[in-house]
Structure 1
Amino acid sequence: MKETYEVILLGAGSSLRLGTLENKIMLMLRDRPVYDYALNLFIEDERCEQVIFVVQKEDLENIKNQLLKLYNLVPKKITFVHGGTERQYSVENGLKALNNSEDGYVLVHDAARPFIDKEMINELFQTVKLEKAVIFAIPAKDTIKVVRNNEVHQTLHRPVIWQVQTPQMFRSKLLLQAHRQAAVDEFVGNEEGELVERMNHPVKVLEGKDKNFKITTSTDFMIAEAIVEQTN
């Protein structure tokens, strides 16, 4: 197996819950856009062959202009693809752009999670070589209830509930197989690990970090701003 990996960086989601007209990944956190905190790690990592950046068609030119200001060029590692109507379809579009789909590794990450770090990438990459499918998650702090029609349908046992994060990493061939099976079954999942689980393939869980949250609401963005101010 190669000692390199490829990345699908997901940036094609909507920003409805954040309440901004601009895509949240393009908002400036101090002196650079949200997506660049993760992107820069992959650009600097020699093990990363390619970053497949999944974006909305209407955002492409603005993102390229931001990259020109940041790097004086669009880094050669980046391949742009357009997003789909669902996360799963965006990842599928990214998988089509892989250089090494048979014996490679692919990492999937949300561009709206800026506080990924090199330690997490290292841990993920070392583990995926043995496990073939690895995700990050953190134990739930609150009790989780299943609610239907504004009534509690079920209370889940908190000690076994974990909240899934990205990055996630897979043998490329395995994730492609999982997506093909989901398409045949007309199944749309929440994240990539779920598709692999459906194939009865074990998915290893590594404990993530609280600060590796996804910027979804205006409160999340304010917390992100505070973290950046404290670390600079």
Structure 2
Amino acid sequence: MSIWSVIVAAGKGERFGSYKPLLKIEDKYMLEYSVETISKNNKIEGIVVVCLSNYIQTIRELLKKYNLVKYVVPGGTLRQDSVRKGILKVPEDVEFVMIHDAARPFVSDDIVGRSINAALENGSCVVCVGVNDTVKRVENGFIKETLDRKSIFLAQTPQIFKRKDLLDAFENAMAKRHIFTDESSLMEFQGASPFMILGDASNIKVTYPEDLLLVDKTVSNLEPIHIKEDLIEDKIVIKELNYFVGIGEDIHPFDKERPLYLGGVLIPFDKGLRGHSDADVLLHALIDAFLGASGMDDIGVLFPDTDPKYQGISSLTLLHNVSAIILDKGFKIKNIDMIVFAESPKISSYKDEIISTISNTLNIDKRIVNLKGKTSEGLGFVGREEGIWAKAVVLLIKEEND
């Protein structure tokens, strides 16, 4: 049975502050650690690396010494888009694909070998670690119950599934507009029960700058290590933080002939909202807030409803395009707060999914995204259940050298 690996290195590194795969750790770049370890396994027949498009040539040059790296391709908007692009480069006759995050540079030969053997025997494999702390379920800041930690595990990578099953699952997710943060949750949505093996606490994921302390600790037993970036200069740069606030709001009437999308999530309801795009009133309010904070024209100017190319377009696509613009201008997202005004449907059941969808689209921590649902107590347009109204406030920051 044949197996290839897709190494995902397409994240922008917003939370970390720079492009992590090209972080220099001693004599190698972070990306090289995963490529080198996976290349050592004699069952791996090829590797596809998925990276940011503006680093394609750099990474191709960096990895040309690794014979198993067959393709280096640009990523997509979301993590699942990037993984899918990588899998499409894997030959059709290959049965299994191992997905691994480049942000986990210290995956061991042992984990790679055991995960491959488990997948070949059981049809899939997800590497996990147990939890040592007592686990609580919290609602609105209050502890509701203590969970049995014996049955709770934290998913890592590698994750291995059959190529065909993964592609079918991605197609299904795209059709239903669902977003997943790893391949295991994607396959679970398909009804699968992936096989699990225990990993290693040293298989850390580098997400925030403080994680570099864990990197140093992980390798300290091997040899002294010095973490550095080629762009760091031998001088102190004093940076001034500027804060920018934006407010956005939107309102759409109901339309019985359309589906209802709120925050990028398809809401089961007997009617949707009227509009030129998918009429996602919440995302439209959020987009206007971003545009206002960054000093740009409103959504109607940027994406006019007279332009046929925006007919029926997903507002998640518009949100991603706007976020790319503001990031390019040097802004970083600090906080998002949103309100949906509707008598029905109630959004409380979809709150977590909406927050996850928005945070994944913007590649930000979901802890800085907040959403509330309100009614109008039967008053006005909303009270008569003629439509939905949404508001959003965003806080952006911008660093400038003093």
Number of the residue aligned with 1:66: 62
Q: Deviation of residue 154 (structure 1)?
A: 6.3
Give the aligned residue type for 1:25: P
CA distance in 1 between partners of 2:187 and 2:165 (Å): 7
User: Could you say what secondary structure the match of 2:157 adopts?
Assistant: strand
**Per-residue displacement from partner, 1:141-175 (whole Å, max 9, x unpaired)?**
23445556555576544332211000011111221
Decide whether the 8 Å contact of 2:48 with 2:70 is kept in 1: yes
Q: Mean alpha-carbon deviation: is it higher for 44-53 or for 199-208?
A: 44-53
Q: Mean alpha-carbon deviation: is it higher for 193-202 or for 161-170?
A: 193-202
TM-score normalised to the size of structure 2? 0.52
Number of the residue aligned with 1:43: 39
**Aligned match of 1:93 in 72, 85, 99?**
85
**Aligned match of 2:166 in 163, 175, 187?**
175
User: Could you say what secondary structure the match of 2:14 adopts?
Assistant: coil
**Aligned match of 1:191 in 182, 186, 204?**
182
**Per-residue displacement from partner, 1:197-224 (whole Å, max 9, x unpaired)?**
1122221111111000101112211221
Gaps of 5+ in 1: none
Decide whether the 8 Å contact of 2:41 with 2:113 is kept in 1: no
Mark the CA change 1:154 to 1:35 in structure 2 (over 3 Å): closer, same or farther: farther
CA distance in 1 between partners of 2:83 and 2:164 (Å): 14
CA distance in 1 between partners of 2:40 and 2:199 (Å): 22
The alignment of Structure 1 onto Structure 2 pairs a total of residues equal to 223
Give the aligned residue type for 1:13: G
Q: Deviation of residue 52 (structure 1)?
A: 0.8
Of all paired residues, the percent bearing the same amino acid is 25
Q: Deviation of residue 14 (structure 1)?
A: 2.2
Gaps of 5+ in 2: 224-402
CA distance in 2 between partners of 1:25 and 1:146 (Å): 34
CA distance in 2 between partners of 1:155 and 1:86 (Å): 33
Q: Which of structures 1 and 2 has the bigger CA Rg?
A: 2
Q: Deviation of residue 16 (structure 1)?
A: 2.0
Mark the CA change 1:8 to 1:165 in structure 2 (over 3 Å): closer, same or farther: same
User: Could you say what secondary structure the match of 1:46 adopts?
Assistant: coil
Decide whether the 8 Å contact of 1:147 with 1:153 is kept in 2: yes
Give the aligned residue type for 1:9: I
Decide whether the 8 Å contact of 2:50 with 2:73 is kept in 1: yes
Number of the residue aligned with 2:7: 9
Number of the residue aligned with 2:363: none
Decide whether the 8 Å contact of 2:41 with 2:112 is kept in 1: no
Mark the CA change 1:67 to 1:97 in structure 2 (over 3 Å): closer, same or farther: closer
Query: 2:201 matched to 1:210?
Result: yes
TM-score normalised to the size of structure 1? 0.86
Give the aligned residue type for 2:87: L
User: Could you say what secondary structure the match of 1:231 adopts?
Assistant: coil
Mark the CA change 1:103 to 1:51 in structure 2 (over 3 Å): closer, same or farther: closer
Number of the residue aligned with 1:159: 150
Decide whether the 8 Å contact of 1:10 with 1:111 is kept in 2: yes
**Aligned match of 1:53 in 34, 49, 52?**
49
Per residue, is there more helix in 1 or in 2?
1
Q: Deviation of residue 46 (structure 1)?
A: 3.0
CA distance in 2 between partners of 1:26 and 1:78 (Å): 19
